[in-house]
Copies of this chain bind each other. A is one copy, B any other.
Amino acid sequence: MSEKLIGAAIFGQSGGPTAVINASAYGVIRAALDAEEITKVYGAANGIKGVLEDRLYVMDEEDPEELKLLLHTPSSALGSCRYKIADPEKDDTDYKRILEIFKKYNIRYFFYNGGNDSMDTCNKVSRYMESVGYDCRVMGVPKTIDNDLYGTDHCPGFGSAAKYIATSCMEINKDARVYDNGMITIVEIMGRHAGWLAASAALATEFGSGPDLIYLPETDFDMDRFLADVQRVYDANGKVFVAVSEGIHYADGRFVSEAKTSATDGFGHAQLGGLAALLASIVKERTGAKVRGIELSLLQRCGAHLASATDIEEARSAGEEAVRQAVSGVSGMMIAFQRETVDGAYRCKLQLLPLSEVANYEKKIPLEWINAQHNGLNHAFIDYVLPLIQGEPKLPLVQSLPHYARLKKVLAK
């Protein structure tokens, strides 16, 4: 146990929202409010941007019962950002400003909740504070529906998105098969470089009502083979249900959706979308069948009403553990999950992973979990994902509609 570090804490949320990112927020904020070493708890408005712009909410001012509602409130309650921070060695303007804010509020604890890019930000802040000798403990809390963070068995947010996708695909499949004429349904699922989310549609098939074909970015997409696959199922059944990852790409690396888009997000990623409609028009032209393209869009990442209780609890505990570790002297680490099997049952163990190892790597689905035809998943994937979607949370409702946290968001001065 290292020396006690007394001071205030900042918690920030970054990157795309999830159904459970606020469960991690609750874990961090509640534990930080309860930690005697932490004198005050600030929530950064829009992640690191709120730090740079001195927009910090005083979490000590919030009603504890309202904070608890964060466990079931989707999306980033404090606001998020997609801000690409420079390398401190190349341009330290932002870091000088962050240090200034840290000194202004006597910040000694910094908790940052996000995916790959956010862990990179977190790592850079950690390195900079160390380099200038400012005593501050920096911890990363993982989050991404994409499930692509390196070094952790899985990521908070993924299990709930997977459950939403599996349930929705089961329902869509029921709907798309009611008429006795031909019908081809193409569902587009998020996932830029890793196919974890689209792969989760395999759960629907496993439980009796899901896609016939699934295409992932882990393998190269071949339009002719795809069309042959669809035609084969169509000829056999008269109905085809296809799930595709938004990030499917040709062998030369071009996204299949590329022709349709041009804009980029803050990190220089191509803005994808419209793939379902594009594939639907190609398939319709080729087969003459009735074809429907469906994009799960934002719904899949903010579907808190279908959240996995396992995911909520793991997200909360990751936040709590980050505070516990920081207070005990740890810094520069991300909380990671290790899967254990105890008496045949899934258990999730928390670990520490150096931020420098996790930042900017992307974890993809092992190729041996993908079938030989590259149009579906093997059972190893089902075994992997099934424990992550378990459990139905008891959602707070008002008039049978979700009851979300409404924070006061009192700005620090």
Contact B302 A305 (CB under 8 A): no
Q: How large is the interface on A (under 10, 10 to 19, 20 to 34, 35 or more residues)?
A: 35 or more
Q: Report the nearest B residue to A55, measured CB to CB.
A: B180
Contact A17 B174 (CB under 8 A): yes
Expressed in whole angstroms, the minimum distance between the Cβ of A50 and any Cβ of chain B is 9
Residues of chain B contacted by A123 (CB below 8 angstroms): none
Count this chain's copies in the assembly.
2
Contact B401 A171 (CB under 8 A): no
Expressed in whole angstroms, the minimum distance between the Cβ of A410 and any Cβ of chain B is 18
Expressed in whole angstroms, the minimum distance between the Cβ of A345 and any Cβ of chain B is 13
Contact B303 A298 (CB under 8 A): no
Contact code string A69-97 (vs B, CB < 8 Å = 1, else 0): 00001111001111000000000000000
Contact B174 A302 (CB under 8 A): yes
Contact A179 B80 (CB under 8 A): yes
Contact B299 A292 (CB under 8 A): no
Q: Would you call A389 an interface residue if the criterion is a C-beta within 8 Å of the partner chain's C-beta atoms?
A: yes
Residues of chain B contacted by A302 (CB below 8 angstroms): 171-172, 174-175
Which of B46, B208, B301 contacts A179 (CB under 8 A)? B46
Contact B390 A400 (CB under 8 A): yes
Residues of chain B contacted by A185 (CB below 8 angstroms): 298
Which of B76, B174, B304 contacts A73 (CB under 8 A)? B174
Task: For the complex, give the distance between the alpha carbons of A299 and B79 in Å.
Answer: 28
Which of B171, B178, B391 contacts A80 (CB under 8 A)? B178
Task: For the complex, give the distance between the alpha carbons of A400 and B388 in Å.
Answer: 10
Q: Would you call A406 an interface residue if the criterion is a C-beta within 8 Å of the partner chain's C-beta atoms?
A: yes
Name the 10 nearest CB pairs between A and B, nearest first: A75-B174, A175-B302, A80-B178, A171-B302, A76-B178, A175-B298, A75-B175, A294-B297, A46-B180, A390-B400
